[in-house]
């Protein structure tokens, strides 16, 4: 983390903002981190930088009301695998099997005992959360584990039930942060758990409630994996097997790519949770470099949150597009998928009334995805407190879908699940008093919002 030079900050009276110049910086930053101190409280907000040669503007009022410290993140902050910084215990769910086996052997025990432990954590319908639940392990091994390891990274704060049966689990982390996980049952025998990868999110997508939080921290591998473990432990008896995992909860998964790739690998391990790689889907707003890495290193599925057919609209509703625009994002997918056999990317398209739901948008979308093996989910926008957007009527969503289907595009409608408990797509999290700025609405869309 590097401190922002004083000469990089200048007040722009004409635009009523402070302008942060990034041209003089030797390393392209991933984000500007703004720390505000007001009265006795401090808050952090992370803003993704559009490019290394651009300026990032923040409202002047924000700066005048709060004492600010600015710094640049050239890489995601590193967080300990153990939630308690004073603890020397290792979190078992933060390790892949090869790491767990090596650790067990370093403590003087056999590889076979590592496999038995692995199955206690993830298999045999056990999903152990304490050493007392490690059935079949000998006394000495359990004693060593009790003294040197921790089986839990999360604690359940609350479980909310929506009218359609969707469940939202609120988890508390060791530092007191709260994350949300959603379990979505389906009549066809498929039950999906939607996991979070960060506390908050840095991407500032204008239609997303989580984005109003800013980024507060990355989740560790164990904190991600344990969401899926808890989903099975809490709801397998009620819903049957939890069959699918989607990384579509709080956060931008590829902004926390190291821990996300590792967590996904643990989930698909054949001796562990045994999810099919095709049924573990990692979503991204379009971070191109980690997207390439994910496609090359992971066997799991990829979803790309597209949500617009022009750079003008996507620059507004998804600021990350200012750094990785539609052309770069889609061309990267075309190139990378050439080496993937029978692999389809999922495009997510949240429909916003009067913004991205015209029949011209549908026709442009057909051309944008041409040549990319894909399917498209049309997602109903889920309103939340303070939003400036409205959902597209269902009749118009069907009309939009039909235009795509007639052109041979594989397309599905995804209506809201769990919205009466703020458990639907784009509704997770709890913004604080300090929030990232809402971006200026392009003039031609001002009547729509």
Active site residues: 180, 425
CA 32 to CA 242: how far, in whole Å? 38
Kindly provide the b/e burial profile for residues 152-189, where b requires at least 16 CB atoms within 10 angstroms of the residue's own CB: bbbeeeeebebebebbbbbbebbeeeebbbbbbbeeee
Distance CA 420, CA 153 (A): 28
**In whole angstroms, what is the distance from residue 304 CA to residue 337 CA?**
13
The two three-digit tokens of residue 376, written as one number? 């498209």
State how far the Cα of 46 lies from the Cα of 74, in Å rounded to an integer.
12
First to last CA, the chain: 37
**What is the token pair recorded at 13?**
């009276």
Cβ–Cβ under 8 Å, residues 224 and 263: yes
DSSP annotation of 249: S
Question: The tokens 């379009």 sit on which residue?
Answer: 286
Measure the CA–CA gap between 133 and 119, rounded to whole angstroms.
12
Where do we find the tokens 């609405």? Answer: 441
What are 190's two structure tokens?
A: 């498929």
Element (H, E) at 134: none
* Residue 47, H or E segment: strand 41-48
Q: 236 — phi, psi (to 5°)?
A: -60, -35
Contacts of 175 (CB under 8 A, 6+ apart): 83, 217
Burial level of 54, CB count in 10 A (0-12/13-18/19+)?
A: middle
Sign, Cα dihedral of 73, 254, 440, 206? negative
Structure tokens given for 315:
């620059």
């Amino acid at each position: 983390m590097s401190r922002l030079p004083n000469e990089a900050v200048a007040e722009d009276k004409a635009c009523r903002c402070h302008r942060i110049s990034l041209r003089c910086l030797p390393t392209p930053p991933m984000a500007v981190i703004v720390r505000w101190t007001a009265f006795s409280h401090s808050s952090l907000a992370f803003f993704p930088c559009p490019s290394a040669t651009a300026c990032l503007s923040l409202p002047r009022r924000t700066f005048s009301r709060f004492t600010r410290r600015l710094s640049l993140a050239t890489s995601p902050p590193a967080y300990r695998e153990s939630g308690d910084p004073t603890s020397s215990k290792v979190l078992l769910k933060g390790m892949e099997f090869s790491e767990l086996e090596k650790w067990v052997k370093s403590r003087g025990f056999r590889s076979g005992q590592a496999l038995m432990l692995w199955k206690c954590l993830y298999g045999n319908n056990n999903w152990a959360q304490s050493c007392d639940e490690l059935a079949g392990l000998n006394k000495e091994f359990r004693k060593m584990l009790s003294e040197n390891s921790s089986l839990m990274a999360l604690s359940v704060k609350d479980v909310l039930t929506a009218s359609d049966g969707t469940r939202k689990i609120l988890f508390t982390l060791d530092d007191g942060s709260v994350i949300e996980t959603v379990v979505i049952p389906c009549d066809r025998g498929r039950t999906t758990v939607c996991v979070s990868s960060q506390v908050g999110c840095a991407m500032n997508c204008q239609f997303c409630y989580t984005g109003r939080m800013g980024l507060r921290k990355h989740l560790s591998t164990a904190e991600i994996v344990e969401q899926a473990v808890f989903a099975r432990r809490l709801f397998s008896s009620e819903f049957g097997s939890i069959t699918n995992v989607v990384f579509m909860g709080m956060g931008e998964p590829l902004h926390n790519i190291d821990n996300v790739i590792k967590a996904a690998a643990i989930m698909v391990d054949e001796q562990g949770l045994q999810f099919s790689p095709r049924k573990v889907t990692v979503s991204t707003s379009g971070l191109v470099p980690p997207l390439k890495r994910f496609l090359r290193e992971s066997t799991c599925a990829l979803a790309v949150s597209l949500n617009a057919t022009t750079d003008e609209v996507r620059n507004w509703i998804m600021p990350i597009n200012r750094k990785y625009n539609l052309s770069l994002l889609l061309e990267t997918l075309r190139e990378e998928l050439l080496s993937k056999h029978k692999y389809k990317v999922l495009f997510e398209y949240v429909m916003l009334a009067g913004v991205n739901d015209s029949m011209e948008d549908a026709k442009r979308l057909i051309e944008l995805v041409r040549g990319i093996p894909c399917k498209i989910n049309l997602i109903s926008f889920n309103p939340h407190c303070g939003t400036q957007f409205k959902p597209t009527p269902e009749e118009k969503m069907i009309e939009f879908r039909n235009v795509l289907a007639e052109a041979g595009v594989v397309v599905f409608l995804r209506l809201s699940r769990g919205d009466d408990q703020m458990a639907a797509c784009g509704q997770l999290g709890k913004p604080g008093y300090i929030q990232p700025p809402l971006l200026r609405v392009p003039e031609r869309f001002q009547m729509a919002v």
